[in-house]
Structure 1
Amino acid sequence: MSTGVLFWGFLIVYGIIMMFLTPKVNTLGGFFRGEDDSGKEASAFMLTASIFISWIFAKSVTNAANLGATYGIVGGVAYATYWLCIPLAGLAIYRLRKKYAATGLVSFLTDNYGKGAAIAFSAAILIRLFNEVWSNTSVVGGYYGPSGSNAFIFSAVIFTIITLVYSMKGGLRSSIVTDTIQAIIFVFFVAWVVGLVLPKHSVGELLSTGNWKMDAGVDMLLVSALQIFSYPFHDPVLTDRGFISNEKVMLKAFFVSGILGFIAIVVFSFIGIHSSLAGIPLSDNVPADLGKTLGTTAYFLMIVVMVSAAGSTLDSTFSSLAKLSAYDLPRMKGIDLGNKSRTIGMIVMLVIAVVGNLPMIFGTDILKATTISGTMVIGLAPVFLLHGFVKPTKLGFHISFWTGIFLGLAMTIGIIPSYFGIGTGKNALLLGVNFYGLIICTIGYLVPGLIFKNK
């Protein structure tokens, strides 16, 4: 009874604290661009903390621990490699802003590749944001009960409502402010949790686990290394923050947060490695399994870590979706909704909070939210990284983009032959599809530009 009161009480107290600390925003600049009441942009520290914690998703730290348990340090490094796309995205956005005066990715695509390209890109973003809702609420629910149980669903719904309410109160500004708080909470409690594990093993022992072989996690590492060239561009949680501050401040924030994120994910994979070395019976939620074996205090700390990580991502998801639907897309059509855009944005938040939780209720694999969507958007890599090296063409965009979408869907329904795989590991086919697919997308983007360069 006392344990239940502690866990459920924390969820309620967390909601009250977030509501108290979230600023009420009355301006469109604050709601969509994260400005304060005086119109000042977010500070370098707040921007860095926001990028860092927004990308430390609850599903990410869970996947890191799971992969650490499965592949040792190889799994931790494989998943942490995704965080290297943050500095890469920072460099790409810096180039687009300085050389091509880009003010946002949707408007950039509209100006250079047409409205059709912007609409297709926005659809990919919607898939990404949809995945972010259920994959993070599922992680929180997993600490209160088995998947599909009443406690699982009820806790996930309460968590969603809490995050939705304070997100509607302040939009992107509330997301950035609460991200800073959640980042501090996350770092403190992760250090505490890892402190319970590290004394049982030397760092050398943890780093020597696993085998650097294709069928032992290296194929997953190579998948991550390929997807970092495209993965960040379909995530407005990240890219929206690339256009709300000075270019140099933004670039520094992206580099620092990316490096810190890489380190944090590797360190969190130690939890999975320890669980494997200790012979703890494991499910698909290694942090929760370990927390249960370490007692009530450790399990409670795991909940604090996961709720803070999930909350930072979910509120960013809501604010990004509001900006896309009520600000970016109307402006693409030359429509300025004015103050109505804030109301429409809040309505969209409510809709995605409901629809986005349906997979959580019915149950699905949270790792798929990363690997499959990452494959579907490999066609974005040449568009944003090679723009300007050849003549931008609508045909080039669509060949590259839709090739990636087709390959991702084909992977999902299982129609790609196994001989396209590279290696013999679990992720052999995923690696092959991403490797060959990225080559095809790049050629598909470049050739039309070379053909029409003089027309």
Structure 2
Amino acid sequence: MDFTLPLIVATVALFSVLLSSSAKDSNSFFKGVSATGRPPGLITLTLSQVTTWIFARSLMNAAILGYYYGIWGTLAYAAYYLSFLTGGKIIDHLRFNRGYDSVQAFLLDRFGQVGSTCYNFVVGLRLISEVFANLLVIGILFGVAGSQAYTLAVIGLALVTLTYSMIGGLHASLRTDLLQMLLFIAVLLVLVLSAIGSGHLTLAALNFKPFDITSPGPILLIVALLQIWSYPMHDPVMMDRGFLADRDTTRRSFLHAAWISMLCILLFGGLGVMAGAHGSSGENMHQVLSRLLGELPMLLFSAALVISAMSTLDSTLASASRLVVVNMGMLPASLHNGRMIMALFMLLGLVLLFTGNQDLFSAVAVSGTASLYLAPVVFFSLWGGREQIPLWSYLGAFLLAVAGAALYFTESAGHSQWLGELHKYTKLLYISITVLAIGCLLFWVGDALSSRRRTPLASTV
């Protein structure tokens, strides 16, 4: 069975390359339209949304959180997928109510070049972290970090994914997402049926960690419910797919993506919960699942992670090229420039992988905390229609969120103990509440001061 997983990877990669018809123009490469100029339909857009958010890191995180913290850990991670509902509402206001063609255009109009630059900084870091995290999962599946098998697997998948991504851009990503999502659903169903058939996936097993509001699982659930208001806006892959189809298709794709992705995360995370309920001292999750399910289901477990990693990587690269070339306008919108940016982001992800932190959830938590500066933007500037929020309010919220993200990173990695001996998720909760509350306060004060300055002028007219 040693060569079975590489064979599965090679087969999926081959079909992905065959599906990736070469982009003929920038509309196909950057905007995802077909050769005849048609935008993606509901099924394609929905499944593309789902598969690009159910990436390998997410599946692994959902299972690991379930393993350590029971069903509440998996529920906490699934709660992040409520971002599809808040993200759909953000897109609807941004694009159809206010007429903007990107998040950058909105921020540029409200807060000038500084506002757009701050956003691009956060988004760029997220894209690089997505490349890093999904390649990391692939490496772990094939060997110990630093081993030859680990290195070859990472570089091999990186080259394959980069190749077919460069062929067709966003249009190729949409086509391959459809194939990869259908494969993933089939594999997930077989895995769940195997778990049920083994007799180990029971209600008692799912409840092996009872609810306790002070335990890490429920605390992380609260964190997720705080971060979903801003998390989707800083995710360029989700935002990009909100600008491809008509209003009705876009609305329905976000709605269906929410329940489908949450169901998939809960089912896959349930495997981790099952392993946690039956684990013995000294065993890790993979060892427990191998003991409970056997060799073939675990091969499918690994295959599901590989397929989801490929689907996310191609979408991440497509969003990176769109970010730099279209949204930031740093280079002319040519196929050559788009492909060059894809290669650059893949290289940066590889550099981070071989030199950086390898805690999978840290990337999610740090990214989600940094994104919290966008929550007051959504509440006040987008949904609230407040057009006179001063730049200092925006910059204050941004700097606070970045500082909060940096603090969580150092605390969770053990580099500092400024917040004491609390569990890292409790620290994350306190940081998130502080960043969100003070950010909203800065916007409220800024709006109030701007309103006061306008009132005397209005009364003299």
Question: Which aligned pairs between 1:428-443 and structure 2 lie closer than 5 A?
Answer: 428-443=426-441
Q: 1:313-365 CA deviation, whole Å, 9 max, x = no partner? A: 1111100000011111117xxx8x24x3x211111111111121123224511
Residue 292 of structure 1 deviates from its aligned partner by 6.9
Supply the distance in 2 between the matched residues of 1:14 and 1:205 (Cα, whole angstroms): 37
Match of 1:68 in 2: 66
Match of 1:382 in 2: 376
Match of 2:259 in 1: 259
Supply the distance in 2 between the matched residues of 1:172 and 1:129 (Cα, whole angstroms): 15
1:291–1:302 Cα contact (<8 Å) kept: no
Q: 1:125-149 CA deviation, whole Å, 9 max, x = no partner? A: 0110011011001111111111221
1:144 to 142, 145, 161: 142
The aligned amino acid for 1:267 is L
Match of 2:273 in 1: 273
Match of 1:372 in 2: 366
1:287–1:302 Cα contact (<8 Å) kept: no
1:210–1:216 Cα contact (<8 Å) kept: no
1:133–1:314 Cα contact (<8 Å) kept: yes
Query: 1:37 and 1:128, CA in 2 relative to 1: closer, same or farther beyond 3 A?
Result: same
Supply the distance in 2 between the matched residues of 1:209 and 1:227 (Cα, whole angstroms): 27
Supply the distance in 2 between the matched residues of 1:241 and 1:64 (Cα, whole angstroms): 24
The aligned amino acid for 2:220 is M
Match of 2:31 in 1: 33
Question: Which aligned pairs between 1:210-249 and structure 2 lie closer than 5 A?
Answer: 210-213=209-212, 214-249=214-249
2:127–2:316 Cα contact (<8 Å) kept: yes
Is the aligned partner of 1:103 residue 2:96?
A: no
Supply the distance in 2 between the matched residues of 1:289 and 1:202 (Cα, whole angstroms): 13
Supply the distance in 2 between the matched residues of 1:105 and 1:344 (Cα, whole angstroms): 22
Match of 1:309 in 2: 308
Supply the distance in 1 between the matched residues of 2:82 and 2:286 (Cα, whole angstroms): 24
1:144–1:151 Cα contact (<8 Å) kept: yes
1:191 to 174, 189, 199: 189
Alignment TM-score, normalising by the size of structure 1:
0.92
Residue 452 of structure 1 deviates from its aligned partner by 1.1
The aligned amino acid for 2:200 is H
Residue 413 of structure 1 deviates from its aligned partner by 2.6
Match of 1:445 in 2: 443
Supply the distance in 2 between the matched residues of 1:418 and 1:85 (Cα, whole angstroms): 29
Query: 1:152 and 1:283, CA in 2 relative to 1: closer, same or farther beyond 3 A?
Result: farther
Match of 2:458 in 1: none
Residue 425 of structure 1 deviates from its aligned partner by 4.3
Match of 1:409 in 2: 406
SS at 2:358's partner residue? coil
Number of aligned residues: 443
Residue 417 of structure 1 deviates from its aligned partner by 3.2
Query: 1:304 and 1:97, CA in 2 relative to 1: closer, same or farther beyond 3 A?
Result: same
SS at 1:387's partner residue? helix
Match of 1:80 in 2: 78
Supply the distance in 1 between the matched residues of 2:38 and 2:379 (Cα, whole angstroms): 30
The aligned amino acid for 2:183 is I
Residue 99 of structure 1 deviates from its aligned partner by 2.2
1:67–1:272 Cα contact (<8 Å) kept: yes
Supply the distance in 2 between the matched residues of 1:417 and 1:203 (Cα, whole angstroms): 41
Residue 198 of structure 1 deviates from its aligned partner by 1.9
Q: Which runs of 5+ in 1 are unaligned?
A: none
Question: Which aligned pairs between 1:278-289 and structure 2 lie closer than 5 A?
Answer: 278-279=278-279, 286-287=285-286
Supply the distance in 2 between the matched residues of 1:70 and 1:84 (Cα, whole angstroms): 23
2:205–2:277 Cα contact (<8 Å) kept: no
Query: 1:18 and 1:37, CA in 2 relative to 1: closer, same or farther beyond 3 A?
Result: same
The range that moved more, 444-453 or 175-184, is 444-453
Counting aligned pairs with the same residue, the percent is 26
Supply the distance in 2 between the matched residues of 1:55 and 1:281 (Cα, whole angstroms): 33
Q: 1:283-325 CA deviation, whole Å, 9 max, x = no partner? A: 77x3576247644322321222011111111111100000011
Supply the distance in 2 between the matched residues of 1:9 and 1:416 (Cα, whole angstroms): 46
The aligned amino acid for 1:48 is T
The aligned amino acid for 1:397 is Y
Q: 1:147-184 CA deviation, whole Å, 9 max, x = no partner? A: 22111111011111111001101111111111111110
Supply the distance in 2 between the matched residues of 1:225 and 1:259 (Cα, whole angstroms): 16
Residue 282 of structure 1 deviates from its aligned partner by 6.9
Superposition misfits of 4+ residues, deviation over 4 angstroms: 280-284
2:135–2:154 Cα contact (<8 Å) kept: yes
The aligned amino acid for 2:353 is M
Residue 427 of structure 1 deviates from its aligned partner by 1.2
2:201–2:274 Cα contact (<8 Å) kept: no
Supply the distance in 2 between the matched residues of 1:203 and 1:393 (Cα, whole angstroms): 55
Q: Which runs of 5+ in 2 are unaligned?
A: 455-461
Query: 1:53 and 1:147, CA in 2 relative to 1: closer, same or farther beyond 3 A?
Result: same
SS at 1:348's partner residue? helix
Supply the distance in 2 between the matched residues of 1:191 and 1:17 (Cα, whole angstroms): 21
Is the aligned partner of 1:44 residue 2:45?
A: no
The range that moved more, 85-94 or 394-403, is 394-403
Supply the distance in 1 between the matched residues of 2:292 and 2:36 (Cα, whole angstroms): 50
The aligned amino acid for 2:182 is I
Residue 251 of structure 1 deviates from its aligned partner by 1.4
Residue 202 of structure 1 deviates from its aligned partner by 5.3
2:206–2:277 Cα contact (<8 Å) kept: no
The aligned amino acid for 1:260 is I
Residue 377 of structure 1 deviates from its aligned partner by 1.6
Supply the distance in 2 between the matched residues of 1:292 and 1:235 (Cα, whole angstroms): 37
Supply the distance in 2 between the matched residues of 1:376 and 1:85 (Cα, whole angstroms): 16
Match of 1:418 in 2: 419
